[in-house]
Structure 1
Amino acid sequence: MMASSPFLGPKRPFVKTIIIGAGFSGLAMGCKLKAVAKSDDFVIYDQADGAGGTWWANKYPGCGVDIPAVLYSLSFAPNPSFSRLFPKQKEILQYFNDVADRFDVTRHFCFNIRWERAYWQDESSTWLVEMKDLTSGQAFQHECSVLISAVGGVSIPNIPKLQGMDGFEGDIVHTARWKDDLALKNKDVVVIGNGSSASQLIPTIIKDAKSVTQFIRTPQHYMKSQDRAVGSLWTLLFRFVPGLLRLIRAATFLYLETSHAQFNLTRYGAEMRAKSLQLSDLYVRMTAPVKYWGLLTPAHDLGCKRRVFDNDNYLECLNRDNIHLTDDPIIAIEPRSVLTNSGLSYPADTIVFATGFSLSQFDSLLVGRYGYTREMHRKTYGTVEAFKTVAMAGFPNFFYILGPHSGKGHTSTLYAAENFVDLILRVTKPIFEGKASSVEVKFAAEQRFHFEIQGALKNTVFTGLCNSWYIDGKTGKNWFIYPWNSLILWFSTHFGGGSDWTYNYNTRTKANGFHFGILSVSTTVTILLLGRILLALVGTNKT
């Protein structure tokens, strides 16, 4: 049964798969639909006017990645040509476009199209999706068998509403909506925010600006940079020595994975956090001026908020005469200045919001079986939720990539995205083979996963004890973090779990025609060895 759907506009021809989001998640899904599902019948919609997701949206000066590039890349498309350990936005976007072209995904992109709503049609086992062409303003319908949300959370800007903004005579810009022609030379610049974006932006503009005044709310934990150039010799070796780049990638993965234990509320985790905190405090005191130490020393536990990796020497630039750091709240914006709570006024030709992103990727109307909506589902669990981060009971053939609880605070987002793509392809295999028309996670399985993940989160620092975007502001629950290590993530997305799903098989197709697979002896031995290696690296967690 389909709820009433007052759709407007024409209907486009049926397509097997609709992917919403042309970032890395959508790209990975498109590449693997071709390679694994042997399906070329898909479209990737995005409301932006170009592909790349967050790397298309964020073009501010200094924008870059804070995960080593060897791991911030797709496993099936290693890149030997990155110029730095932590490359900047242009290189990441160029890599993205190269992969899209190489795997023939570029022609599947469709831009300036916004997803408005979608309704499940039980009688045909399809989704009817309403889209809006942002160029023409026209709405249209598109029907598909499989609907995938690859909408990320770091592309739609969060811009606070401040008194007097409409009367400001200069430029107001968000880091995720940077203007290419914005001139900051000899300008008084106000930067609001002190997360990763601000720490990358300020060192890049400080030499040209007349002054930079930075307003912060909550101090961050700053970690010393490990960035360096990748020399031409290494580039040649990566290109021509078989397996070297993959070996470095594996070593980087294991190295980053050793830091996962520090986020657990165990004695060993506390010891690791204490060491990291000591290094962070030492870095602040050796680099930043004494007058700012109080503004650079957080009261919250390390890891409660995302750490800032100082690859652009932000703390060093605080020693310059033309920068001022304050936590005096802004109460109003005047035509050429900002007014603070203490009564001070700071000159401003340009105001830059480095205030993060609007987490609106779960807001589009989604109506599943019997009129059950995504908002009803959210109320059922008290927060946004999905089984193994990818699926919801009551919403057949609908999947998230980087959905609720998919975030990793210590390693590559792309690693996580690829694992979730693999899980979706395993689950939908009977659909692409023509054996089934729909698949849906069982309610009991989703409910079990919800209690497991909420229980695991209680044993980590990722709780509501600090003001973090990890926390659902409506409920105080963490909606973002995946609390287990990356080996568990890989295992849980590649093996077992067949009984958690229910299929609507086509006529003459046996219900047991699809198997999630049995672990071979070699696979089991490999998993055990990897577990032993990880335990040796991180030590034993002691409560």
Structure 2
Amino acid sequence: MVLSENKTSSKVLIIGAGFSGLATACQLRREHNCDDYVIYDRSPAPGGTWWANKYPGCAVDIPAVFYSLSFAPNPDFSKVYPPQAEILEYFNKVADKFDVSRHIVRSTEWEGAYWQDFTNSWLVKLKDLSTGQTFYQECKILISAVGALVNPNRFGIPGVETFEGDIVHTAAWKADLSLHQKDVIVVGNGCELHFLSLSPKGMSPTVDQVRLLSLFPLLLKKLEASPNLFGYHFSLVQTPQFYLQNENMQIDDRWKFIFRYVPGVLRLLRLIVFLFLESTAVRFNINYKGNKARNLSAERSKAYIQSTAPDDPIVKISSHSIFTKSGQEYPADAILLATGFALTQYEVELVGRNGRTRDEHWGNFGYKEAYKSVAMSGFPNFFYVLGPNSGKGHTSAIYCIENIPANSDTSYVNLVMKAIAPVLQDRASFVEVKPDSEKEYNENLHEKIATTIFNSSCSSYFIDYKSQKNWFIYPWNSFVMWYSTHWGRSDDWTYDARPDKNHRVFSFGHLLLLLALSIIPISFKLSMTVSEKLY
């Protein structure tokens, strides 16, 4: 490969300036006092999905007290489920507080990365989107903090290219979009639709009519055909807000005062929300308790679904109208797409040891995978944040990013921070997960997924269409996630130790170990007790 003269270097390079990138950068500074890092993001501004998604009514669907970084609580959210603008404002405040903003390089796209054995470093190919210029940067540690909820799903209805009005996806909202006196078609049945439907002001009060036309017409029929909901529950898990609407309470100034000035209140509330959300995880298991919990949820939501879910899909589009399967024609001046996202975060070329690509590595497994969602053998010093099988169907994505429990002291660091410590401290030149450990972990993971509803045949982006394997869900509960990422086996990793530099990986005091082992079973029992009472 011919290298560009325009080549710089840094100890750590992070791809993605969303919450994953922000949390990683903050922990580099807090836990390792590392200031030698850079964050690249293709967007004109940081914030990730919270910058990209600006559609009317866009808001978080997890109580904000738990949709925030554990080391940076926010007492000033205006609502239990605050709007997009407040989440983005919180993001930028944290970035400024921890001096992350000056490390972010905007409008720069990641095009590839190549491991260099002779220097034990990564050569990263990047493109400046403002100039079109390609350049390279070297780094010791490469971290992919690329998110998923940014790229719009393709809208492939026949005739779409002939439509003469506006076609706007929620992830590419036009600030100057005018819907005054227009016939508007809204396509989709996901979270974006829920928030659009709650925002008549954002949609414009002068819109003549808004028609909700689902691209997934078999939804209701699958519910009727599946009394235990195995064939249906993916749609419920993906988009609960569409079926069960949340009350979004205002947080008044008295509560904000308490949150800001009374020590421990926000942390206690965070713990309560964590335990409540964790108690709902029982619904995902294929057993008596799981069946009972799902059936109870179905009884509460079935009537709402029947009254709102459309079953006449769009089959064709013309210049000023859309046609459905029944033959009905609807006039249309604008089409708003709430059709979800294309999950393309793993399409960038990644080449590890001996010229082996990520696709070849996954081809050997037969599916997308990573050891504990963060690392792959043959790709030293490369890590994911929110990698394969890191998602949860019932709790906060930021919890998964941090891997820090709701009531923990942030003296603990997440799995990636522990793994890279010897490299950051120049006690090793690389760290790499062992192939046998990677294989064993993924075998156990897919055995566990098989005991949950997440292996359903229902169409879902959780399932890779090539391998038919679930690449998205982390199947164990959040206590297991925390324990396995904080007290992992050090012999799962290989280090190239430098001479005269001894190092110990995951060195914790016996007191902390005994404390963790005593608290976790108690917390887990409490969570399960709450679950049994609820369901």
TM-score, normalized by the shorter chain, greater than 0.5: yes
- Counterpart residue type for residue 87 of structure 2: I
Counterpart Cα distance in 2 of 1:125 and 1:419? 28
Deviation string, structure 1 residues 320-369 (Cα, Å, up to 9, x no partner): xxxxxx43232322111112233322111111111111111001000000
Query: Partner of 2:519 in structure 1?
Result: 526
Query: Partner of 1:538 in structure 2?
Result: 531
- Aligned-partner SS, 1:259: helix
Counterpart Cα distance in 2 of 1:508 and 1:539? 55
Query: Partner of 1:517 in structure 2?
Result: 508
Query: Partner of 1:473 in structure 2?
Result: 465
Per the TM alignment, residue 516 of structure 1 is displaced from its structure 2 partner at its CA by 4.3
- Aligned-partner SS, 2:480: helix
Counterpart Cα distance in 1 of 2:103 and 2:397? 23
Counterpart Cα distance in 1 of 2:474 and 2:507? 23
Counterpart Cα distance in 2 of 1:133 and 1:191? 35
- Counterpart residue type for residue 247 of structure 2: Q
Q: Give the stretch that moved more between structures: 181-190 or 157-166.
A: 157-166
- Aligned-partner SS, 1:489: helix
Query: Partner of 2:128 in structure 1?
Result: 133
Per the TM alignment, residue 509 of structure 1 is displaced from its structure 2 partner at its CA by 2.1
* CA distance 1:380–1:533, shift in 2 (3 Å): same
Deviation string, structure 1 residues 448-488 (Cα, Å, up to 9, x no partner): 11111101001101114111111112222111010111111
Cα pair 1:128 1:141 within 8 Å, conserved: yes
Per the TM alignment, residue 497 of structure 1 is displaced from its structure 2 partner at its CA by 1.2
Query: Partner of 2:247 in structure 1?
Result: 226
What is the aligned counterpart of 1:419 among 388, 391, 403?
403
Query: Partner of 1:495 in structure 2?
Result: 487
* CA distance 1:119–1:336, shift in 2 (3 Å): same
- Counterpart residue type for residue 59 of structure 2: G
- Counterpart residue type for residue 471 of structure 2: W
Asked if 1:150 corresponds to 2:145, the answer is yes
Asked if 1:280 corresponds to 2:301, the answer is yes
Counterpart Cα distance in 1 of 2:382 and 2:290? 37
Count of equivalent residues: 498
Once the two structures are superposed, the pairs formed by residues 161-172 of structure 1 within 5 Å of their partners are 161-172=156-167
Asked if 1:246 corresponds to 2:267, the answer is yes
What is the aligned counterpart of 1:433 among 414, 419, 425?
425
Cα pair 2:157 2:316 within 8 Å, conserved: yes
- Counterpart residue type for residue 537 of structure 1: V
- Aligned-partner SS, 1:198: helix
- Counterpart residue type for residue 211 of structure 1: Q
Once the two structures are superposed, the pairs formed by residues 329-478 of structure 1 within 5 Å of their partners are 329-419=313-403, 422-478=414-470
Asked if 1:483 corresponds to 2:467, the answer is no
What is the aligned counterpart of 1:78 among 59, 69, 73?
73
- Aligned-partner SS, 2:468: coil
Counterpart Cα distance in 2 of 1:70 and 1:515? 30
Cα pair 2:180 2:204 within 8 Å, conserved: no
What is the aligned counterpart of 1:237 among 255, 258, 264?
258
- Counterpart residue type for residue 455 of structure 1: E
- Counterpart residue type for residue 149 of structure 2: V
Asked if 1:267 corresponds to 2:260, the answer is no
- Aligned-partner SS, 1:48: coil
Per the TM alignment, residue 151 of structure 1 is displaced from its structure 2 partner at its CA by 0.3
Counterpart Cα distance in 2 of 1:518 and 1:463? 40
- Aligned-partner SS, 1:395: coil
Per the TM alignment, residue 519 of structure 1 is displaced from its structure 2 partner at its CA by 4.7
Counterpart Cα distance in 1 of 2:446 and 2:467? 13
Asked if 1:217 corresponds to 2:240, the answer is no
Counterpart Cα distance in 1 of 2:204 and 2:54? 17
What is the aligned counterpart of 1:122 among 97, 113, 117?
117
Once the two structures are superposed, the pairs formed by residues 16-27 of structure 1 within 5 Å of their partners are 16-27=11-22
Counterpart Cα distance in 1 of 2:470 and 2:318? 37
Counterpart Cα distance in 1 of 2:177 and 2:429? 51
Per the TM alignment, residue 206 of structure 1 is displaced from its structure 2 partner at its CA by 6.8
- Counterpart residue type for residue 246 of structure 2: S
- Aligned-partner SS, 2:167: strand
CA RMSD for the aligned pairs? 1.8
Cα pair 1:159 1:174 within 8 Å, conserved: no
- Counterpart residue type for residue 241 of structure 1: V
Per the TM alignment, residue 162 of structure 1 is displaced from its structure 2 partner at its CA by 2.7
Query: Partner of 2:28 in structure 1?
Result: 33
Per the TM alignment, residue 518 of structure 1 is displaced from its structure 2 partner at its CA by 5.5
Deviation string, structure 1 residues 55-95 (Cα, Å, up to 9, x no partner): 00000001011100000000000000001000110010000
- Aligned-partner SS, 1:86: coil
Query: Partner of 2:84 in structure 1?
Result: 89
Deviation string, structure 1 residues 366-385 (Cα, Å, up to 9, x no partner): 00001111101221222210
Query: Partner of 2:231 in structure 1?
Result: none
Per the TM alignment, residue 163 of structure 1 is displaced from its structure 2 partner at its CA by 2.5
Counterpart Cα distance in 2 of 1:35 and 1:440? 24
Query: Partner of 1:203 in structure 2?
Result: 198
Give TM-score scaled by structure 2 length: 0.90
Cα pair 2:373 2:389 within 8 Å, conserved: yes
Per the TM alignment, residue 126 of structure 1 is displaced from its structure 2 partner at its CA by 0.2
- Counterpart residue type for residue 327 of structure 1: D
Per the TM alignment, residue 496 of structure 1 is displaced from its structure 2 partner at its CA by 2.9
Deviation string, structure 1 residues 373-411 (Cα, Å, up to 9, x no partner): 110122122221000000001100000000000001100
Per the TM alignment, residue 539 of structure 1 is displaced from its structure 2 partner at its CA by 4.3
Query: Partner of 2:410 in structure 1?
Result: none
Cα pair 2:487 2:506 within 8 Å, conserved: no
Counterpart Cα distance in 2 of 1:526 and 1:327? 49
Query: Partner of 2:497 in structure 1?
Result: 505
Cα pair 2:418 2:506 within 8 Å, conserved: no
Over the matched positions of the two proteins, sequence identity in percent amounts to 46
Deviation string, structure 1 residues 146-203 (Cα, Å, up to 9, x no partner): 0000001101111222332222211111100000000112211111111000111133
- Aligned-partner SS, 1:65: coil
